[in-house]
Structure 1
Amino acid sequence: MYYEIASRIVVPMSTAAPSEADMTDPDSAPPGSAKTTHPPSPHTLPRPATQRVVARRVFDWRLRFGILCLVWGFSFLFIKVGTQGYAPLHVTFGRVAFGSVVLVAVLVAKRERLPRSARTWGHLTVAAFFLNALPFSLFAYAELTIPSTLAGICNASSPLWGMALSLVALSEDRPTRRRVAGLGLGFLGVLTVLGAWQGFSGTDPTGTAMALGASLSYPIGWIYVRRTLAGVDESNVALSSAQMLLATVQVGVVAALFTPVPTSYPLVPLLAVLALGALGTGFAFLLQYGLVAEVGPTTAQMVTYFVPVIATAAGVALLGEQLSWNTPVGALIVLAGAALTQSRPRRTTPRGDD
């Protein structure tokens, strides 16, 4: 997920993304966004045309799009493997710590500084909790008892929660028949995934609730950011680095208080945590930001619909997780509902207007 502040894309930490209409319409902007005509900062200015052509030939946006889908899709497998060797809080701590290393390294390379305002740090502390520390921890605990395939599908419900909350918390976000229909369809898909007609048998209710709670945490954070951090001057990398560092401190303190220090460090789970943090959190942010800047949010947001498919395929093929018919069917319904909640009717030009 990403959100935009003062014409800069900031902190994409989940796979749910707003539509292009949301990115440009001040009355329906995504959480954490503010439409502005401020000139871009130096690091967001486009490169010379010749450089862009060379870069696109070597790293075409379609290739980077596919890599991003794979990285985020495999994140749920990395969580599952990581929790096989480490406590959930240690998996989460490694995730945010390794993600911080990547982002801070980019910040240093760009010769930028972390935010200086105490107010900004205060709001980023709340954002770090709802967008990183809490959902990452909930997913790690959830995958102790539910398959990674189910966790990936639960993550796809985040746009549904976002729409439901925005109707309550954001007075300018008016409901439409299409979006309400998408909301209802999406939650019908969730019930299908969970097998509601058979009393939710075969799924752990606590683990599933944690995964759904993680997907709910993201839009809470987006709405908070939209209300508090719109219009700040810091760059996307500076804000993202600060937020991830704060999440590392938050998780580190809780882990130190409630989880014993590991007595051993199994290699495969450790590599999974490293990949989860460095690739699925730090590198994925940079990749998503570049895609949005090059091809726009509408195309970039399509990653949302590939992630649960890849998460499911990875879980079944590599972890041997069982897959009943209602899981993929329900997932398709969830994705269809999510697409409806983010779609908007085409605007027609009044007659006589050019």
Structure 2
Amino acid sequence: MQKPTAHATGRTRQVAAQFIALSFAWGTSFLFIKVSVGGLSPAQVMIGRLTLGAAFLIAVMLFTRRRWPRDARSWGALVVISVFLCVAPFTLYAWSGQYIPSGLSSIYNATTPIAALLVSLAVLPDERLTRGRTAGLLVAAAGVLVVAAPWDIALTPEHGPVFVAQLACLGANLCYGIGFVLSRRLLRTNQHDATTIAASQICLAAVLGLAIAPFIGGLEPMDLNPPVITSMLALGVIGTGLAYIWNTRVISAWGATAASTVTYVTPIVGVVVGIFALGEVLHWNQLAGGLLVLLGILISRGRLTRTGTLTVRRRSIPNRVHNDV
């Protein structure tokens, strides 16, 4: 058997390091959102992270001399996609961050693949509801119910905003699901690489966010203290800008299926940093429900065999831009 070259080994380690960095970038995004809403309105958090992310990705486009899309069809599709993959979910997660812990937001974010599956089943004719998918959806739904803990809401009516905030997280994930399906349908024949699509999408989202700012609280007074400024820089440059580059490289090296396993890691990062950085408390139902959600995702994707062992598929899948909070 031929041994891997030093160059190949170095590249493998580099991609692995980028995968780990991506997990931390998206896992800590909920912490930065939580800190940012302490001095900014949810709309300002959305606009700030998009503007900073757009500035970073524009610099990448200029440095790498990539060409922007030139056809009206691509730009039209990206306008619609940017609403569902950026503007709407970023606003919803920022709003929910005012009422629920950052770790809980990260747990809800793990349901994004389930939301994408539901939307695909509803609108894509080539998608079928198999026995495995049905079982996975039921298990994940049970997990969401356990995380939401409606029995606590019933006993404490004053916690109503907490329940609504959890619904907002699920609404954000539904937006992601719609965005993924639109990307698949509208950008199927697009010839641009993932970095160009990401940069175009984030820039359009920033423009849209600025346009609607006066109507959604984007002009409210701001408290730009050091923690808020630092969090916004991390959220925009790293979580919304640099993370796209890392994700693109991981997809290119490992394939979309392996790259998507970042979904399993980000809730762990989000919960841990929430506990250590903000003193948040992880309740038993959030841990149990989060595990059920991840189990449901594995089952729906056929990643568990009948014996209960985890399987890894090694098939070629076209590259897609993966979005998270």
When normalised by structure 1's length, the TM-score is 0.79
Cα distance, 1:55 vs. partner? 4.7
Q: Which amino acid aligns with 2:174?
A: L
- Within the candidate set 116, 123, 129, 1:175 is matched to 129
- Within the candidate set 273, 289, 308, 1:314 is matched to 273
Provide the residue aligned with 2:77 in structure 1: 123
- Tell whether 2:14 aligns with 1:56: no
Provide the residue aligned with 1:133 in structure 2: 87
- Tell whether 2:291 aligns with 1:332: yes
How far, CA to CA, are the matches of 1:258 and 1:196 in structure 2? 29
Which stretch shows the higher mean deviation, 206-215 or 189-198? 189-198
Q: Which amino acid aligns with 1:182?
A: G
Task: Say whether the 8 Å CA contact 2:41–2:220 is kept in structure 1.
Answer: no
Cα distance, 1:149 vs. partner? 1.2
- Tell whether 2:105 aligns with 1:151: yes
User: Structure 1 residues 200 and 247, CA, compared in 2 at 3 Å: closer, same or farther?
Assistant: farther
How far, CA to CA, are the matches of 1:198 and 1:139 in structure 2? 22
Task: Say whether the 8 Å CA contact 1:195–1:201 is kept in structure 2.
Answer: no
- Within the candidate set 255, 262, 277, 1:303 is matched to 262
Provide the residue aligned with 2:47 in structure 1: 93
How far, CA to CA, are the matches of 1:51 and 1:132 in structure 2? 39
> SS of 1:77's equivalent?
helix
Residue pairs, 1:186-205, within 5 angstroms: 186-199=140-153, 204-205=162-163
User: Structure 1 residues 164 and 107, CA, compared in 2 at 3 Å: closer, same or farther?
Assistant: same
- Tell whether 2:170 aligns with 1:212: yes
How far, CA to CA, are the matches of 2:104 and 2:290 in structure 1? 9
Number of equivalences: 297
Identical aligned residues as a percent: 35
Task: Say whether the 8 Å CA contact 2:153–2:163 is kept in structure 1.
Answer: no
User: Structure 1 residues 309 and 270, CA, compared in 2 at 3 Å: closer, same or farther?
Assistant: same
How far, CA to CA, are the matches of 1:107 and 1:96 in structure 2? 16
Structure with the largest fraction of helix: 2
The Cα offsets for residues 140-165 of structure 1, whole Å up to 9 and x where unpaired, read as 00111111111111111111111122
> SS of 1:153's equivalent?
helix
Provide the residue aligned with 1:280 in structure 2: 239
Root-mean-square deviation (Å): 2.1
How far, CA to CA, are the matches of 1:323 and 1:245 in structure 2? 36
User: Structure 1 residues 200 and 165, CA, compared in 2 at 3 Å: closer, same or farther?
Assistant: farther
How far, CA to CA, are the matches of 1:233 and 1:298 in structure 2? 21
User: Structure 1 residues 200 and 237, CA, compared in 2 at 3 Å: closer, same or farther?
Assistant: farther
When normalised by structure 2's length, the TM-score is 0.86
Which runs of 5 or more residues in structure 1 are unaligned?
1-48, 347-354
How far, CA to CA, are the matches of 1:178 and 1:168 in structure 2? 17
- Tell whether 2:22 aligns with 1:68: yes
User: Structure 1 residues 78 and 230, CA, compared in 2 at 3 Å: closer, same or farther?
Assistant: same
